[in-house]
Amino acid sequence: MFNFDLARMIYVLPGILLALTVHEFSHGYVAYMIGDSTAKNQGRLTLNPIAHIDPLGFLMLMFAGFGWAKPVPVNPYLFDIDRRKGTLMVSLAGPVSNIIMAILLTLLFGLFLRFTGNNNSVVQQLFVSSISINLVLAVFNLFPIPPLDGSKIVMSLFPSRFEQTFHELERYSFIILIALLFFGVISRILFPIVNVLFNMLMGLMFMIV
């Protein structure tokens, strides 16, 4: 499971830092825009990746391919709008921001190739890795498993009487998530979706080139 590959780390490090930072910042920014300044007060409303890195989660990402960032603190009771609607908006912000970032990186990649004619494999690999990592983070977080964003999205869409049930499931969330990862259940769903999205973006890029 653990694999030390220095070349791979050099390629994936920029993408990981970018994807995690944009993801967590977006959660905090949307929460701030609708009235919750908790993230801002704790210094998390920043694009400085250091503020969002969980040391253990970051090492797991680098060595094991699975990890986590430091969750942005959100207090839904401070929202200026309906609490459930606000939770939906904040939860969607992270995955949506990663998809937007993947699209922007694809456009930059296409423009870079078009105007420079650069065939530098290192630059290409950096772009491909960053695009892929953003897509993986977006799709992975949409799984409806606590504490992933998808679980909060589903909870916000279900009638309020189910909210307590979701909170009770959170007690077992880490065990459920690890089991699904260990037995490859998530991978069998995650990577086919990511591959489809990646191929769509590469098709967009070739239209530019």
Closest Cα to residue 109, out of 4, 16, 201, 2? 201
168 is catalytic: no
Task: Tell how far CA 172 is from the center of its chain.
Answer: 22
Give 134-177 pLDDT, tens digit per residue: 999 999 999 988 889 998 998 888 877 777 777 777 777 778 88
Alpha carbon distance 132, 118 (integer Å):
21
The C-alpha atoms of residue 203 and residue 98 are separated, in whole angstroms, by: 19
Q: Are 73 and 44 in contact (CB under 8 A)?
A: yes
Q: Read off the pLDDT of residues 167-205 as tens digits, 9 standing for 90 and up.
A: 777 777 778 888 888 888 999 999 999 999 999 999 988
pTM: 0.90
pLDDT tens digits, one per residue of 8-49: 777 888 999 999 999 999 999 999 999 999 999 999 999 999
Pairwise CA distance, residues 29 & 40, whole Å:
8
Furthest-apart CA pair in the chain: how many Å? 58
Strand locations in the chain (E) = none
Q: How many helices (H) and strands (E) does the chain have?
A: 9, 0
156 close to 91: Cβ distance less than 8 angstroms: yes
Q: What is the distance between the alpha carbons of residues 157 and 24, in angstroms, rounded to a whole number?
A: 22
For the segment 51-77, the average pLDDT, to the nearest whole number, is 84
Which of 24, 163, 168, 170 is flagged as catalytic?
Answer: 24
For residue 144, the 8-state DSSP code is: S
Q: 113 falls in which pLDDT band (50, 70, 90)? A: confident
Amino acid at 152: K
